[in-house]
Chains A and B, each alone.
Chain A
Amino acid sequence: MKVGVVVFPGSNCEFDVMEGVSAAGGSAELLWHGDSSLGDVDAIVLPGGFAHGDYLRPGAIARFSPIMGEVSEFARGGGPVLGICNGFQVLTEAGLLPGALQKNAGLKFLCRTVDVRVDSTKSVLTSGASVGQVLRLPINHFEGNYTCDPRTLDELRAQDRVVLRYADNPNGATDDIAGICSPQGNVVGLMPHPERASDELLGSTDGLVLLRAFLSVPVGPLT
């Protein structure tokens, strides 16, 4: 499987994602946000960073990048799309995932490794893990406090779409949410960085179980 990693002006995790994908046994190429085609990639990752300087709001300007029309169409057709950190923020701003990421409770930028529990395996990112499995993953964000209206939260829970929860909530996120997926499970957003937990040298290889699952999604539209 070939993964396309979208680079926005201000992205800074694109090479980490390329390394992580490679460590998980896949191949990846960079796509530019100004492109109007996804080329021949089988999956999309929106990496972390500060797209367009996070001006206005994180993800607010990135969602209007030319490539985002193609990404939306790819996602709506069932293609696997993963948004990590700033990528998650872009997905919510683009309306591909519900809710929003607000500033961390406590007004601190958080940069540390945390325990994250897998609570649903029905997404392209978590299908290789087991429910209840705890993963050590780095977080690195200021706006990671997931929020949504009560109706959306009920829907996410009822449809088993909260894929990851913090074991010890670091940022005030509603219902300890660290990651969610679309109704079909093909679009996933999460604040932790699985690509930075893909080698022993980085202190954890727990991200590999997620990246390998993402890479093993059958190519082509979901049925």
Chain B
Amino acid sequence: MAQFPVLVEVTLRPGIADPQGATIERALPALGFEGVEGVRVGKAIRFIVEAPDADTARSRVDDLCQKFLTNPVIEDAKVTIE
């Protein structure tokens, strides 16, 4: 068994309102940051998974994302095996 460091980035799906991102975006001009748009706020989750190989690690993490780390109704996950 090898150990694979994993990074899961959870973001709201396109079309799902992101009031936190919108609020940050609205605040930027007041702070002098012009020309910034498309702010979206998500979560980064790091952990280490044990698996015989990287493919197995990825499929275990995909399953974990589907069942627990994201709510597929409103969220997407991007998985990086590092």
Contact = CB atoms under 8 A, between A and B. Distances in A.
A102 interface: yes
Contacts of B16: 102, 147
Interface string B58-70: 0000000000110
B73 A107 contact: no
Nearest to B45: A56
B56 interface: no
Nearest to A108: B19
Interface in A48-70: 56-57, 60, 64
B3 interface: no
A57 B74 CA distance: 11
Contact of B73 (A56, A99, A104, A105): A99
Interface residues of B, number: 12
Which of under 10, 10 to 19, 20 to 34, or 35 or more describes the interface residues of A?
10 to 19
Contacts of B69: 56
Given A147-B73, A148-B73, A149-B73, A107 B19 contact: yes
B17 A100 contact: no
B54 to A, nearest CB: 25
A148 B12 CA distance: 13
13 contacts: A56-B69, A57-B71, A60-B71, A92-B73, A100-B74, A102-B16, A102-B74, A103-B17, A103-B19, A104-B19, A105-B19, A107-B19, A147-B73
Interface of B: 12, 16-17, 19-20, 22-23, 68-69, 71, 73-74
